[in-house]
Amino acid sequence: MSKYVLIGSKGCGSVVIELAMLKAGAEFELEEIPYLEPGPDRDRLLELNPLGQVPTLIMPDGDVMTESAAIILHLADAFPDAKLAPATSDRQRPAFLRWLIYLVSEIYPTSTFSDDPARWQLPKDAQDGYKRTVDQYRKTLWGHVEDVADTPCFLGNDFSAIDLYIAVMRNWRPGRKEFSQSFPKLTEIADNIANDPMFSGVLKRNFDT
Ligand SMILES: N[C@@H](CCC(=O)N[C@@H](CS)C(=O)NCC(=O)O)C(=O)O
């Protein structure tokens, strides 16, 4: 095997990695699967990643990587010309690391733990209120990102993979319309990515926009 195999699903965090692969010019194959649906695809995914999450990446040497931020940092190392991350000596590097990890550890899990409250045994009559509370909290979390965001890229003039996350995650609940009303700088960053011919096709395919 000489290329990456990216296991992903429509509209998921795997789209961030697909965009990063394009930017890196990495050779990869995308395997889109219904990641939550019981069946052979999910069984195989669980063998590769016990959390059954996408993105799951099979490396050219057959090793497996999970966790989108780790995959981004790997791609940044393996394909430095793509500038997915500021160089270690760059003064933007600490801010990049801080907000990359914030996106995956603070904001991303608000989807995991509230998209389907029934999964977590929440009583039916509590589910709507819970979702509203989490949505409000997610809005607060995004607000902190908006407060520190620069434009046209999150880090100012320099593209980084954080821009890719924003371009993907703005489509998640409660949706990009509400997102654009609350977060103009993040919307500008996401629009710049969506208008880039390198990324526009993948974003259209995933988010029907
Ligand atoms: N921390 C992981 C989160 C990945 C994740 O939660 N992916 C979602 C799809 S967007 C998923 O697979 N959810 C299924 C689950 O958590 O059971 C990452 O950043 O890659």
Model confidence over 81-130: pLDDT tens digits? Answer: 999 999 999 999 999 999 999 999 999 999 999 999 999 999 999 999 99
The DSSP line for 150-176 is: -SSBTTBSS--HHHHHHHHHTTSTT-H
Output the CATH code of domain 4-82. 3.40.30.10
Q: Ligand 1: which of 49, 105, 108 to mutate, judged by most atoms within 8 Å of the beta carbon?
A: 108
Confidence of residue 56 (pLDDT cuts 50, 70, 90): very high
Location of each CATH 1.20.1050.10 domain in the chain: 93-196
**Closest ligand 1 atom, residue 71 Cα:** 20
Q: How many angstroms separate the alpha carbon of residue 186 from the centre of ligand 1?
A: 22
Considering the chain, what percentage of its residues have pLDDT values greater than 90?
A: 98
- Class assignment of domain 93-196? mainly alpha
Which residue's CA is the closest to the ligand 1 atom numbered 13? 53
Per residue in 173-199, pLDDT tens? 999 999 999 999 999 999 999 999 999
Per residue in 12-42, pLDDT tens? 999 999 999 999 999 999 999 999 999 999 9
**Closest ligand 1 atom, residue 54 Cα:** 12
- Which helix (H) or strand (E) is 197 found in, with range? helix 197-207
